[in-house]
A and B are shown apart, each in its own frame.
Chain A
Amino acid sequence: MRAMKAGTNLEKVLRSGAFAVTAEIGPPKGAVAAVVKRKADLLKGSCDAYNVTDNQTAIVRMSSLAGCVMLKEAGLDPVMQIVVRDRNRIAIQSDILGAVALGIGNFLCLSGDHQRFGNHPQAKGVFDIESIQLIQTFKNLRDEGRFISGDEISGEMPLFIGAAANPFADPVDFRVARLAKKVRAGADFIQTQAVYDVERFATWMKGVRQLGLHKEVYILAGLIPPKSIGMARYMRDYVPGIHVPDEIIERLENADDVKEEGQKITLELIEALEEIEGLSGIHIMAVGWEEAVPHIVAKAGLLPRPVV
């Protein structure tokens, strides 16, 4: 068994060998705490941990750190997402210190969507360090007790370090190699890009197993339950790196109840994913449709969540 890094609920569930479930919670485009609390109440008990996004798609929202603290207060285990787009190494390390002081233990390192996609395309992109170096930064903070500069940190830094992976991007032959780099950099767990094409995902996982990476890092497969035909088409046509097969779109088009069908598709995907050797769980990104998560998890037979 791998050594305990931060002792968060997510880490404990993964260490127990149970099939983990995480979900994403998008903070509001405003300062109303009740929005976060409502989502927390809605999702409580249905997952092992909850990612709070960091200005996703470069649209300004309540900070990930604030959202995580509110989830924590509501009794949920948060995963703080951090992108390198908006903050330099000084700000990022300072935020990590603050987050740890506030009891946050899970982090997800991301590049972040380019600012040109968001609602402030005029913004200056920072990209001082990049996402794999962010993983290294976390590991250094935790294992060496040192900042990037080499200066020592006072106190413990219990960190459970997450990273993203996209099995569907190009060049295909590099996708397992990139995961291997993230593992070497210090990732403890991985949440992947949304899977719609299980076959392609399984091929990637095969490559992952060949390198034994599934024994070094917990891999959670990403899922985006399709909420509408328009959203599925948009993902197929405009979101780089998401591969939505036409068959999925057709099923939604022919359905009487699109949302129902979207959940059904997601449940079938979960069933297929559970069969894949070396996969440690799923990560549900129900963008703007968080209320679907408890239903999906229940119908997938993944309730109750383990108490560890």
Chain B
Amino acid sequence: MITGKQKALSEVARMATPYKRVLVLGCGTCTTICFAGGQKEAAEMASSLRLLGQNEKRRQVFSEHTVRRQCEWEYLDEIAPLLKETDAIVSLSCGVGAQALAERFPEISILPGLDTCFMGLPQEPGVWIERCLACGDCIIDTTAGICPITRCAKGLLNGPCGGSVDGQCEISADIPCAWQLIHDRLASQGLLSRLDELPPVRDWSTSHSGGPRRIVRQDLKVKKAP
């Protein structure tokens, strides 16, 4: 899933200051699961903003709503009627959802209510960890199902560096060394000799380095009438 972290309330309030009628819009999918921007968080943020606005004697109206997913056009239609009464939307989805709103409703100002963090999963209650950088050329068949591009701090491809100690990455005691994990899993699978290979230099053009990306599926494109 895509993870996110709510921005500080003061920061959201600052962004919202110029607008009279503000809709706090939750997202029912990824940011709900990571407790950053679901229905509950949208309601809480709206009421906190309301309180703060009152204290600071701003004449603002805050309302809240949550859609199934802000990143799909079909779920955005339902908010169209609410927008007659709205000057700005605080989006509690990831950056994809927030941008979809901006595209669908160009007359409304879109304010990011959270910082989109990474693609990952929960490790334990309250802790999420990154797992994939969407490099566009997945290689984890060679690395025992563990992504070194994402999980090794230096994106190494040839095994643990000289800073790997006691299973920890040199950059932090909280981060396991991805290559120690790969090493151990390959060892348990009897595939340790895989580490002897010298993988070729990566082609990063499939990643964001190649510019903003697109997927085109001819088989799914709507054919124009002849």
Contact = CB atoms under 8 A, between A and B. Distances in A.
Contacts, number: 91
A181 B155 contact: no
A177 to B, nearest CB: 7
B138 interface: no
Contacts of B134: none
Nearest to A140: B201
A169 B163 contact: yes
Interface string A242-254: 0000000000000
B118 to A, nearest CB: 15
Interface string B159-184: 11111111110110000010010011
Nearest to A149: B201
Nearest to A134: B201
Interface residues of A, number: 36
B162 A241 contact: yes
Nearest to A182: B158
A241 B154 contact: no
A9 B158 CA distance: 31
Interface in B123-168: 153-168
A185 B159 CA distance: 14
Contact of A127 (B155, B162, B163): B155
A146 B153 CA distance: 29
Contacts of A148: 201
A43 to B, nearest CB: 25
A170 B180 contact: yes
A187 interface: no
Interface-centre pick from A111, A165, A193 (highest chain B CB count, 10 A): A111
Contacts of B170: 113-114, 240-241
A133 B154 contact: no
A128 B204 contact: yes
A123 to B, nearest CB: 13
A130 interface: yes
Interface-centre pick from B163, B167, B168, B177 (highest chain A CB count, 10 A): B163
A114 B169 CA distance: 11
Contacts of B168: 240
A85 B198 contact: no
Contacts of A136: 198, 201
A85 B163 CA distance: 15
A230 B162 CA distance: 23
B196 A130 contact: no
A166 B155 CA distance: 18
B195 interface: yes
A137 B157 CA distance: 15
Contacts of A84: 154
Interface-centre pick from B158, B171, B196, B204 (highest chain A CB count, 10 A): B158
A12 B39 CA distance: 72
B206 to A, nearest CB: 14
B19 to A, nearest CB: 31
Interface string B82-107: 00000000000000000000000000
A181 B158 contact: yes
Interface in A144-201: 148, 164-166, 169-171, 174, 177-178, 180-181, 184-185, 193
A299 interface: no
A118 to B, nearest CB: 12
B163 A241 contact: yes
Interface-centre pick from A170, A184, A193 (highest chain B CB count, 10 A): A170
A20 to B, nearest CB: 21
A165 B162 contact: yes
A116 interface: yes
Given A114-B171, A177-B195, A181-B198, A130 B164 contact: no
Given A111-B156, A177-B195, 11 more contacts: A116-B171, A127-B156, A131-B156, A133-B201, A136-B201, A166-B161, A169-B165, A170-B165, A174-B195, A184-B198, A240-B163
Interface of B: 153-168, 170-171, 177, 180, 183-184, 195-196, 198, 201-202, 204
8 nearest A-B pairs in the assembled complex, by CB-CB distance: A166-B162, A240-B170, A240-B163, A132-B158, A127-B155, A169-B162, A241-B162, A114-B171
